[in-house]
Chains A and B, each alone.
Chain A
Amino acid sequence: MSELFSSIATYTFLQNAVLAAILASIVCGITGTFVVVKKITFISGGIAHTVLGGVGIAYYFGIPPIIGAFVFAILSAIIIGLVKLKANQHEDTVISALWAMGMAVGVIFMYLTPGYSADLLSYLFGNILMVSSVNLYILAGLNIFIIIIVLIYYRQFVAITYDEEQARLRGLPVDFLYILLLCIIALTIVVLIQIVGIILVIALLSLPAAIAGLYTRTLHAMMFSAIGLGMVFTLSGIAISFTANIPTGATIIIICGLVYLIAINLTRFIHKKI
């Protein structure tokens, strides 16, 4: 363990990894809470996987992949949001189709890109040890943006996630708020993909909030609690994976999953909420 701390002090890539994990935990706690209470993990999964299309296209044209991820995340959030709001039926089929098509576009463009796409794997499964200082600034910027939007619309997001019908009766712009929330989820996914990758992102987005939801009584308590849990999971994941020399993203997800499974079983015996 002391070796880990001296390494953190020595290597910039480890310092970046720790900072990225902290930034990711903050947005993942905030946004993940809305994902869990509104029960939209499937929609969030759709947004996350569609992002591969943007990454592939960005590679092909030699643009930074995070830009492609950003554009595709926002586009898919808007399209999926409109499908959800306007389609009366088959919405999950439509979302599945977008999900798979996004990934297919990514695979084709990566195939067409000359040379070996080593980064494909790091986008699918994450590589927190490869987070550059530039990406760190982008992550910090996204964090600030997400926090500001959620602060501004906090009460309205609570209203549409708790009782959408009543929100409409109050004359709140429910459709706008819903798509805005999906865009916030999309931005959070762009941040989290840097840590755990597209395939594993849904677990990191939903599990800390789901665990927090088991013992909290208010939404903001759930958020702060999820942020704390996210930090514990990502930082301990970095420590364990660094020491055992195994992939970090997968280690973080296994920690999240194990704690979640233990927590839901514990709540059968303990019903106390804070």
Chain B
Amino acid sequence: MKNNAPEPIIIFRDVDFSYNGEPVLENISIEIDRNDFVAILGPNGAGKTTLIKLLLGFLKPSKGTISILGKTPVKARKSIGYVPQYSIFDKDYPINVVDIVKMNTLTSNSLFPSYKNEVTEKAFSLLQKLDIRNLAYRNFHELSGGQKQRALIARALINEPKILLLDEPTASVDVTMEKDIYDTLKMLNRNTTILLITHDVGFVSSYVNKICCLNRYASMHSVAELTGKSLFDIYSEDSKFLRHHCNL
């Protein structure tokens, strides 16, 4: 897909993770290159959430190593823009869109209530880029699902992350909006490595260049090696795909 030589920036080497003695992930060895656009696919309970927590350094592997840009996940946090599912937010919290975006620039030295003008300007230009500038002062929880997703992407981008990690970005979003979000991600993919986790296979395949199948074990496929036709067949039966094509 890319012309330049692949440069792995996320490397899982023989990673195991078990929770209370129960294996959740086993023997994960994957590499993600700079400017890849990767979809991590797996059914519920496949270990997707665990994989995110490992990438963000909230969990440590029981065995094996994870390296992100040559660092440990905790040290690489500043280079990752994480976009969680918007459903985790409390809908009663009074906060507007631009404040949520600006909040992601805070450090432990950010004292007293006001933000620097540069931060506010940057937040507005990101909202512009994501086509939701007119919603800047709206309460986050009054937005539609797709608009919330864009706001959270803007929040992640304000730190100019090298890697964007999205948890189910198209969950509970309608089909048109889903395409819009993927188009936006495709645009961002020009200079950002994108990892998204999903169980919803829809038309993610026409955007990503690699698919990682996850179901306790992981296997990486470049989209080129799977034809569009077979992908759609596969997607109609998720679990079958994972069994047959990922040798699970």
Contacts from A to B (Cβ < 8 Å): 37, 39, 151-156, 158-159, 161-163, 165-173, 213, 216-222, 273
Contact = CB atoms under 8 A, between A and B. Distances in A.
Contacts of B82: 166, 169
B56 A218 contact: no
A151 B104 contact: no
Nearest to A153: B111
B107 interface: yes
Contacts of A169: 56, 77, 80, 82
**A-B pairs with lowest CB-CB distance, top 4:** A154-B113, A217-B139, A152-B111, A216-B94
Interface in B45-103: 56, 58, 77-78, 80, 82, 84, 88-90, 92-96, 99-100, 103
Among A156, A169, A213, A218, chain B packs the most CB atoms within 10 A around the CB of: A169
Nearest to A39: B90
B108 interface: yes
Contact of B94 (A166, A168, A218): A218
Contact of B112 (A151, A171, A172, A220): A151
B247 interface: no
A151 B112 CA distance: 5
A156 B113 contact: no
A33 to B, nearest CB: 9
Nearest to A168: B58
A213 B92 contact: yes
Given A162-B95, A218-B99, A273-B139, A152 B106 contact: no
Given A162-B89, A168-B58, 15 more contacts: A37-B94, A152-B111, A152-B112, A156-B108, A161-B93, A163-B88, A163-B103, A169-B77, A169-B80, A171-B78, A171-B108, A172-B107, A217-B139, A218-B95, A218-B99
Contacts of B139: 217, 273
5 contacts: A153-B111, A158-B99, A159-B106, A169-B56, A217-B139
Nearest to B82: A169
B230 interface: no
Contacts of A221: 94
Interface of B: 56, 58, 77-78, 80, 82, 84, 88-90, 92-96, 99-100, 103-104, 106-108, 110-113, 115, 137, 139
Contacts of A37: 90, 92-94
A256 B90 CA distance: 24
Contacts of A151: 112-113
Contacts of B58: 165, 168
B140 to A, nearest CB: 9
Contacts of A273: 94, 139
A116 B227 CA distance: 87
A39 B108 CA distance: 24
Contacts of A156: 106, 108, 110-111
B94 A217 contact: yes
Contact of B103 (A155, A213, A217): A155
Nearest to B56: A169
Contacts of B84: 163, 165-166
B137 to A, nearest CB: 8
Contacts of B80: 169
Given A213-B94, A218-B95, A162 B103 contact: yes
A170 B99 contact: no
Given A151-B113, A159-B103, A171 B77 contact: yes
A217 B96 contact: yes
A170 B94 contact: no
A39 B113 CA distance: 22
Nearest to B80: A169
A208 B90 CA distance: 19
A273 B110 CA distance: 29
A170 B82 CA distance: 11
